[in-house]
Chain A
Amino acid sequence: MAGSETRDRLTADVYDIPRRRAFVELGDDDLARLAALRPLAEAHIDRLVDDFYELLLGQPDTRRFFPDAHVIERVKRSQRAYFLGLFDGKVDEAYVDDRLRVGAVHERIGLAPKWYLGAYRRQLRLLLDLLFSGVPDPVEARAAFASLQKLVFFDMTLAIDAYIVARDDALERHQTALRELSTPVIRVHHGVLLLPLVGTVDSLRAEQVMDTVLVRIVEEQARVLILDIAGVPVVDTRVAEHLLQTTQAVRLLGCEAILTGISAHVARTLVQLGVEIATMPTRARLAEGIELALAIVGKRIAPAGAGAGSAAEHAGPDGAGRA
């Protein structure tokens, strides 16, 4: 999952490998030093991985991420690859991708950064033991550990960035969903659509609303659009402009716009603001707007039992009524 999608979203910054490396002072000599220790790592890898999972499985906060033996087997394999990767002696884009994937996966399964970072402490401890027991010269061992530390911190910065990007992605998806949810275009009758505007009309939502509405008008071959603003708390020039622009665009598609849901104080506020919306038919209440809309498409609401007895609407002769 993280491969292309997350990668696309990550800024060029993440792939600015030289800059990141420079900050943690990770040089080619560090990588070479680690590569020389690969045989040592390979010789002890199983014990390393087992020790590490002893911690993760022993703590309730992390235990729950490993429900069965099958999962444990799989994560142990990737941990093994991770440990050995530290001794590969190279840091390229594939390496970065891999670290980013780790962060993204952790975010997705809900493993919080505090546990991820906390677990790293144990990894470092195990690697420290490995180097000091496996490298005879203490000066050499120290240098090796310093190199390893740089690489590990390089990894952590990437994983944290991946966490953040994955979280941003999730938030953005929710917001998109919400925005779509908050633009319900309702089909009132054949040729009549209703758009109840609710809440704040910010620039993004204004665009979204416009797009959704225009597409629906074409789809439904609507002839009338009712814009109901009863749910908009503040009708300022921004909202007024949005209404006027929507009306204009809607008219280009051969559709009439009717404005409803204007309260007395909103009407007065609009007059004082100097906003001119008299160009579009307006009705105080939605019900009146619907009557007007039906009249425009040549229908009307009649009392039950009248004529053929259909409860709702009758075809009226050529748009009879009060348009």
Chain B
Amino acid sequence: MRPVEVGHRGGERAPRSTRLLGRHELPIACEADIVLVRRKARSLAQAYGFDAFATAAITTAASELARNCWVHGGGGAAVVEELYDGTRHGLAMEFRDTGPGIGDVEWALAGGHSTTRSLGLGLSGSRRLVDEFALETARGEGTTVRIVKWKRF
């Protein structure tokens, strides 16, 4: 799979020594699973003391990406990681599917485009809601989106 890396926002990349405190894998095999994924995002964000906006942001992004995984990718899994970089806590979420892949990443990320006559804002919007956003996709092989949201002080 040829990776298409998409840049990060605000240079908030985690320093070298990020520790993994916890890891959860959740299947995305039906519409109801989307709710379970975003509930996990919310409960972890709250447990780590994320503020209301950061909690809404990661939860909403999780909802969008889980739905894309289900609707466009035909289902897959979400992996949630609890991170600590020495000074702050973060939540990483990775959404994987083995669906058709995204043909034109730039087009999909521009916002307002959709192949399902939907609003077409999920992918681009999620990217703005989080601190790190990386997308890997290959035609016919699938799509993986990884996001990270760090807790602010």
Contacts and interface: CB of A to CB of B under 8 A. Distances in A.
Interface of A: 200, 202-203, 233-238, 240-241, 244, 263-266, 268-269, 272-275
Contact of A274 (B32, B35, B52, B111): B111
Contact-residue bracket for chain B: 20 to 34
Most buried by B among A233, A268, A273: A273
B73 interface: no
B124 interface: yes
B74 interface: no
A203 B116 CA distance: 14
- Judged by DSSP, the binding face of B is helix
Given A236-B63, A237-B64, A273 B128 contact: yes
Most buried by A among B32, B35, B63, B126: B63
A234 B41 CA distance: 11
A249 B119 CA distance: 17
Contacts, number: 68
Contact of A266 (B35, B56, B67): B56
Nearest to B129: A272
Contact of B128 (A203, A264, A265, A274): A274
Interface of B: 31-32, 35, 38, 42, 52-53, 55-57, 59-60, 63-64, 67, 111-112, 118-119, 121-122, 124-126, 128-129
- Judged by DSSP, the binding face of A is helix
Contacts of A273: 60, 64, 121-122, 125-126, 128-129
Contact of B124 (A268, A269, A274): A274
Contacts of A263: 52
Nearest to B126: A273
15 contacts: A233-B42, A237-B64, A237-B119, A237-B121, A237-B125, A238-B63, A240-B121, A265-B55, A269-B53, A269-B129, A272-B129, A273-B60, A273-B128, A275-B119, A275-B121
A235 B64 CA distance: 10
Nearest to A238: B67
Given A234-B59, A273-B125, A265 B52 contact: yes
A135 B128 CA distance: 82
A236 B71 CA distance: 15
A236 B38 CA distance: 11
Most buried by B among A233, A237, A238: A237
B56 A269 contact: yes
